[in-house]
Chains A and B, each alone.
Chain A
């Protein structure tokens, strides 16, 4: 006879797996009903149209820059070499990597005539947008870390100038929407800076940098609060021990407090940086073609919004997931070292 304990275990297992089944059913039902609805409105899914926005094979026409007669057409391993005897007496060579030739030896041609064509792989607009999002986020994170570190240290300083400046900065940034801050950076500060630069004959700062600045200052304020809470979570005894050995405030911070605080603030920092990557989608409104703006442009030309917006979301997911994995790895390594 089976013991009651093993019966109990069996029952618990059964219960567990039935709830696992519920999970998959809910997911399946969600996707299934979405698909069913799209069929109801006669939406045609064309996933095969998506890859071209990552990479596409562009046909490039080779055109003559001179008028003259085709002297020779030579086929080599790498492609075609066409020599044109120009009307002005000079020979011009055209070489391109393909077999496509549209003219014959002895043809006379004019300037701008197509000699042939070849194909070249190009990076699509979505991938360009993804790259820009990555770049903007990365730069903003780096600046945000430094800004946040200094503002966080100033926040807990006993110096009223540092402390109040830091509080003002943090409260201003955290109290207003990022969208408004982007507008202020671009339309107010951007106009001021670029107009003043123009008056002095210096090149304009592109909108990208105002976008990065708005994200960096925004993140910096949140990082400052994270840094502050991290430092304050370190036991007071650590400061007392290091100061009692004769270390200065700065030495104690650098050698004792910050290394310990840093490990503790990695998880909240990871959350903040993931928010930053997602918030960078707002930069589209000041003409920065990051992933969301790129997707919007592609949607207007391809007319496949369903596929593209899903792809866009998944690309963000890839970025944020990779970042969170990276920081988890970093945290584990720092704890074990």
Chain B
């Protein structure tokens, strides 16, 4: 489903940082992969390379067989198939909850207003926020906003979902409601790549955990292997620090 071959990414501004160094990874359809690592380890950059919000300098990325770094690839088509959820929600503040979810359906998927409305309402019900459909984002709590953001991404019927630290900006009591939505999504068989610090989520939901540091994948494996018997020293240190 997502096939990453030897990608590298260097940031030159404000100073040279090797964000990704020869990273390869293969994520199967329906797999839930959790990426963890200290800040600055390149995990967010890795995720953002997957829908070309960052363009990898070297290597190849195939999404469903499409080489997204090929100059002839229409990246907008690829992005429509890969949903993304951000740490800071990034809802459109000038649109109501319903219109946030409707917008890309109308503009990108060219759905009729009626069809989009039906899909939107079904998704808002699913994430438990249907009663707020006519409210503007700034009147919602962080957890509610993030659930709307998930519904907005799901409305495109994506083949995979990318989560970039979806609970890091939330108050502790709201983390649960967002994680519950993500767990439900995982159970439905959605392909998911999740960058997070929620080890509980990783342990419970992940099929595979990837540990990154200094732009490299240090270690990967099943949650049991990872949390009970990590093999790499760097991983052990990291887990000791956060658990």
Contact = CB atoms under 8 A, between A and B. Distances in A.
Given A240-B53, A241-B90, 12 more contacts: A235-B90, A237-B86, A237-B90, A238-B90, A244-B82, A244-B84, A246-B156, A247-B104, A247-B108, A256-B103, A260-B93, A263-B94
Interface residues of A, number: 18
A247 B153 CA distance: 12
Interface in A218-246: 235, 237-238, 240-246
A73 B77 CA distance: 87
Given A240-B53, A255-B103, A247 B88 contact: no
A242 B81 CA distance: 13
B51 interface: yes
Interface of B: 51, 53, 76-77, 79-84, 86, 88, 90-94, 103-104, 107-108, 149, 152-153, 156
A238 B89 CA distance: 9
A259 interface: yes
Contacts of A57: none
Interface of A: 235, 237-238, 240-248, 251, 255-256, 259-260, 263
A1 B94 CA distance: 56
B76 A238 contact: no
Nearest to B92: A256
Given A251-B107, A251-B108, A255-B107, A245 B90 contact: no
Contact of B108 (A235, A245, A259): A245
18 contacts: A240-B53, A240-B86, A241-B84, A242-B104, A243-B76, A243-B79, A244-B82, A244-B153, A245-B152, A245-B153, A246-B156, A247-B108, A251-B107, A251-B108, A256-B103, A259-B94, A260-B93, A260-B94
Given A240-B86, A241-B86, A251-B107, A246 B79 contact: yes
Across the A-B interface, the 3 shortest Cβ-Cβ residue pairs: A246-B80, A241-B90, A245-B104
Given A240-B53, A255-B103, A246 B108 contact: yes
Given A255-B103, A260-B93, A260-B94, A245 B80 contact: yes
A243 B80 CA distance: 9
A235 B88 CA distance: 10
Nearest to A244: B84
Contacts of B88: 235, 237
B107 A247 contact: yes
B92 A244 contact: no
